[in-house]
Amino acid sequence: MFRNQYDTDVTTWSPAGRLFQVEYAMEAVKQGSAAIGLRSKTHVVLGCVNKANSELSSYQKKIFKVDDHIGVAIAGLTADGRVLSRYMRSECINYSFTYESPLPVGRLVVQLADKAQVCTQRSWKRPYGVGLLVAGLDETGAHLYYNCPSGNYFEYQAFAIGSRSQAAKTYLERRFENFVDSSREDLIKDALMAIRETLQGETLTSSICTVAVVGAGESFHILDQETVQKLIDSFEIAGGEEAPAAAPDSAAEGGAAAEQSGATDQGAADQGPAPMDI
C-alpha cells in the first residue's frame, strides 16, 4: 500500500468508495503474529504464536481472559488489544452486576464491533489496529467470533489471523467438518497443528506458542507450558504418519537441514522490524 491524496483522514472517501485508513488498520492485523481459533459443540480453543522482537526480550502476551466464559486472542497492535480486552472485562462485570448472569457472547461481540465502528467515522480518532478472535461459551453453546478493525464481525467454526495465517487457514479448511464432534484433546491437537503450519520450518515448542481453552464445565484458562509440551510431543508422534520413515542417518541430516531452514526463516523475519510491537 502507498500513500495517496485520500488516505490522510479516516473520514475521506476515495473515488472508488474506499476508506484507506481503515484498510491500513486491517493491514496491521496481517502483520501481527498468527492467532488461531477453533470450536466444537462444547469447547473452544485459542492459540497464538509468541514472537519476541529480539533474543534479549520477552514476547508480548496475545491471549487475554475476559471472563470465566470468554477469552480473546489478538493479532496486530498489542496495545490496542489490551485496551479492548479491558473494555470487554468492564462490560462483563457491569452486566453480571446488573443481571446476575453471564454476558452472552454474541452481545459482547456486537458491543465491541460498535466501539470499533465509531473509530471509522470520527476524524479525530483512528481505527483500532488489531483483530480479535473472541471465544466463549453461553447457554446457546460454544462460539468463535472474529472482530475486524472496520467494525465487522463474523462467527466461524475455525479461523486464523495474522502473518502466515493462510497456511493455517488451509489446514483448518481441510479439517473443519470434523471439529463439531471433536473431543477437547483432539481440538487442542488440531490447534497445535494449525500453529505449526504458520511457522514454516521452525520447530514447534511450548515456548513459542500459547494455547487457551474454554468449554462445558471448564472456565477459560491458559494451559501451562509443561502441559502444552506434553501435547506437542504426543502430536509429533501422531504426525509421523504423514511422512515416510527415513533411515537414522538421513533423518539426522534432515533434522539438521530443517533446523538450518528454520534459522534462515527466523533471520529473514527479524530483518523486517516493525515500528510498533505487533
pLDDT in tens, 85-138: 999 999 999 999 999 999 999 999 999 999 999 999 998 999 999 999 999 999
Residue 150 pLDDT more than 50? yes
**Rg of the chain, C-alpha, whole Å:** 20
**Average of per-residue pLDDT across 57-62:** 89
* pLDDT score of 278: 60
- Say what the pTM is: 0.83
User: Which of 30, 58, 37 lies closest to 195, judged by CA?
Assistant: 37
- Name every residue whose Cβ is closer than 8 Å to that of residue 244 and which is 6 or more positions away in sequence: none
Q: What pLDDT, on the 0 to 100 scale, is given for residue 202?
A: 84
Cα distances (Å, whole numbers) of residue 184 to 129, 215, 255, 262: 32, 8, 31, 30
* Higher-confidence position of 3 and 193: 193
Model pLDDT for residues 207-235, shown as the tens digit of each residue: 999 999 999 999 999 999 999 999 999 87
